[in-house]
Copies of this chain bind each other. A is one copy, B any other.
């Protein structure tokens, strides 16, 4: 490989974050209005460049924090996008990350500064560069992840109801689920704690709150159980 380190090209490395949120109406994505050229004024993912003295994960974290004020949230590397002309200004490789955040917990002022807005994943505007592709990849990774690990709870407040959890999974899987089968399956994993309290905001009868019992989940995993969060078709 004649692999002297000299004489190789040094290249801009960017990070782009696909930021998912959830409210009762469905899955959301946080996009920003690009305020510089090229493509100024178009919608875009939040991004930034890798610095020499930080790791990829640290950089993604920093960039997510910049926009949302949040730290220590679910953040997973997705894919490296590396077409030669993906950025028209300069050759840039971008590593995409996706984040799952509780939509109620971010810094609204920062969002305004960046001209950011939440969009329903079913109705996204056209994005710059290859960002549409990145979003697609994030959506399918999320489907996969959600069917093997309890990532759904990252998008929900600590207390949530069964109907909310179901709407979330329906959003992730882009399909409708049968509520009897859904409840049975979720509850059979035995990692949710039912509260006495009810959510009365959205119905007269009220829906019981549940909490995800992370410790119990971890114990089961360490015990070798493989809990699956697969969807159930209607």
Contact status B4-A36, CB under 8 Å: yes
Interface size class of A (residues with CB under 8 A): 35 or more
Residue A91 at the chain B interface, CB threshold 8 Å: yes
Per-position binary interface string of chain A over residues 51-75, scored 1 when its CB falls under 8 Å from any chain B CB and 0 otherwise: 1111111010000001000000000
Protomer copies: 2
Known: A1-B66, A4-B36, A5-B90. A50 touches B12 (CB 8 A): no
Residue A89 at the chain B interface, CB threshold 8 Å: yes
B residues near A66, Cβ cutoff 8 Å: 1
B residues near A57, Cβ cutoff 8 Å: 82
Contact status A50-B4, CB under 8 Å: no
Contact status B12-A5, CB under 8 Å: yes
Closest B residue to A93 by CB, please name it.
B13
The docked-state distance in angstroms from the alpha carbon of A10 to that of B8 is 11
Contact status B3-A48, CB under 8 Å: yes
Known: A9-B52, A50-B9. A95 touches B83 (CB 8 A): no
Partner of A55, one of B9, B48, B82, B114: B82
B residues near A81, Cβ cutoff 8 Å: 56
Contact status A49-B84, CB under 8 Å: no
